[in-house]
Amino acid sequence: MKVILLFVLAVFTVFVSSRGIPLEEQSQFLEFQDKFNKKYSHEEYLERFEIFKSNLGKIEELNLIAINHKADTKFGVNKFADLSSDEFKNYYLNNKEAIFTDDLPVADYLDDEFINSIPTAFDWRTRGAVTPVKNQGQCGSCWSFSTTGNVEGQHFISQNKLVSLSEQNLVDCDHECMEYEGEQACDEGCNGGLQPNAYNYIIKNGGIQTESSYPYTAETGTQCNFNSANIGAKISNFTMIPKNETVMAGYIVSTGPLAIAADAVEWQFYIGGVFDIPCNPNSLDHGILIVGYSAKNTIFRKNMPYWIVKNSWGADWGEQGYIYLRRGKNTCGVSNFVSTSII
């Protein structure tokens, strides 16, 4: 493999040197292709290289922003480094903006005595309530992964059994809608959706299938193939959680992992640390799952509090598929659209 890579590098160096492209960038691009098994046609090769070079500048800028904000956030070359910002948004984010409407049910605030008694750190992964990180692929179905993650947790807590549930069942079959200011926001497979709609579908449908019986394809199917014989979990209702991070922590401890929406535009090149740089809390374009919370010492701060957030971009992104979001500052709108199903 190394011999082939060296040969390709030599050929590519000759090809681009006449165009004034720095050797360092050539080398980085070839290493990127090798690491992430990227294959390009002749026509798209130089286009991807130009995007990659531009993204190197963005990564450097993001790391400088993190330093200026005394943040622990780290950005670097990852598998999304050959995508433009628009491509990243179209492929991996949700085009259905999550908005907390007045007609959504809201849970009560928890008792102060209970809130004051919750542990300083809590992680449902260590308690068996969280399935391995999944990968939505180039499909705007994050909302379905956020939903299944929550229902998987609720089912585990209720039945003491962890069952991986089918996102494809939701992508193909769920067409529920919610209204906001006279307009409808409907679940549309790879074209986006919302967790409350998905909960309503599961309730009306009598359950959701297992992942093994209805596997994920990263495409919106032409028909719904739901089979009630393969239901993996049922729910009876759902509720939104008050927009308060202290209350959220209490509900995580008492109830289980919570489905959320957040602004993930700046997550494209995230590779680790606690995300604590400016983002837009009023543009919730990605569905994810909070599985716990903790704190850590960083270069700049002691006991930096953070949320443990399960993403759906594969285990080869971020912190083994997770992102840590600064807790207590409504980072990226983390507390603006929080929900849980009810068994």
The predicted structure's pLDDT at residue 294? 98
Q: How confident is the model at residue 285 (pLDDT cuts 50, 70, 90)?
A: very high
Active-site residue list: 142, 286, 311
Average pLDDT, integer, range 58-72: 97
The predicted structure's pLDDT at residue 42? 87
Which one, of 149, 158, 110, 157, lies nearest residue 130 by Cα? Answer: 149
The predicted structure's pLDDT at residue 9? 44
- pTM exceeds 0.85 for this model: yes
Q: How confident is the model at residue 2 (pLDDT cuts 50, 70, 90)?
A: very low
CA–CA distances in Å: residue 338 to residues 118, 176, 235: 19, 19, 17
The predicted structure's pLDDT at residue 301? 85
Q: What is the Cα–Cα distance from 90 to 105, expressed in whole angstroms? A: 30
The predicted structure's pLDDT at residue 5? 45
- Render 133-181 in DSSP notation, one character per residue: P-B--SSB-HHHHHHHHHHHHHHHHHHS----B-HHHHHHH---EEEET
Q: What beta strand segments (E) does the chain contain?
A: 74-75, 122-123, 177-180, 183-186, 208-209, 231-233, 237-241, 258-262, 270-272, 274-275, 286-296, 304-310, 322-326, 338-342
Q: How confident is the model at residue 20 (pLDDT cuts 50, 70, 90)?
A: low
Q: What is the pLDDT of residues 292-315, one digit of tens each?
A: 999 999 888 889 999 999 999 999
Q: Could you tell me which residues are beta bridge partners of residue 308?
A: 292, 324
Q: What is the pLDDT of residues 214-253, one digit of tens each?
A: 999 999 988 999 999 999 999 999 999 999 999 999 999 9
Q: Could you tell me which residues are beta bridge partners of residue 272?
A: 74
Q: What is the Cα–Cα distance from 143 to 148, expressed in whole angstroms? A: 9
Average pLDDT, integer, range 152-161: 98
Q: What is the Cα–Cα distance from 292 to 252, expressed in whole angstroms? A: 7
Q: What is the pLDDT of residues 84-140, one digit of tens each?
A: 999 999 999 998 989 998 899 999 999 999 999 999 999 999 999 999 999 999 999
